[in-house]
Amino acid sequence: MRKLSTEELNRLSVDEFKAAEKLPVIAVMENVRSAYNVGSLFRTADAFRLEAVYLVGYTAFPPHKEIRKTALGAEDTVSWKHFRPVEGALADLRAQGYRIYAVEQAEGSRMLQELSVAPGEKIAVVFGNEVTGVEQSTIAQCDGCIEIPQLGMKHSLNVATAAGVVLWEIVRGHLKNFQ
């Protein structure tokens, strides 16, 4: 086995990325305190070629030095919008035909591995504050909650880590029919 060189990876240019087909998945960050976590989400969104990232409430948004530090330029490739009240983001998603899920431990939540996504289905996932999670008022406006199974003593993950886990599981469902 040999590690591939950067040239062999055939990475898209910024213009090629912007013109490329995107997966119909939007990640929403609600009241996330750490701009580093926001930057990490941008990198994940770029890696999985998501439709967009929505930044809600007091979540930091570009241009921001801490986002740039962890996003490594992905904030320039991934489409994003900032909404002060979450209702604006949710209304925008609904108008575009997205099913909206909060990533939260809640009564009636669906375990991540049980979520089935049809190819081409529009899905938005809301990730919440590092301490308090997704706001209850936001959960009440979602189509459901997705929960990541956790087997250890701790019952939470860093929000950027949780986003990577959840988004990969959703993206896997789309990859069979995606170039």
pLDDT tens-place string over residues 109-164: 999 999 988 888 999 999 999 999 999 999 999 999 999 999 999 889 999 999 99
Which letter does DSSP use for residue 129 in this model? Answer: B
Q: Which CATH number fits domain 19-177: 3.40.50.1950, 3.30.1950.10, 3.40.462.10, 3.40.1280.10?
A: 3.40.1280.10
pLDDT tens-place string over residues 66-105: 999 999 999 999 999 999 999 999 999 999 999 999 999 9
- Report how far residue 166's alpha carbon sits from residue 150's, in angstroms, rounded to the nearest whole number: 13
CB 167 within 8 A of CB 53: no
Residue where the block lists tokens 């069979």: 176
From residue 111, how far is each of 43, 44, 92, 124 by CA, in Å?
A: 25, 21, 26, 16
Task: Look at residue 46 and give its three-state secondary structure.
Answer: helix
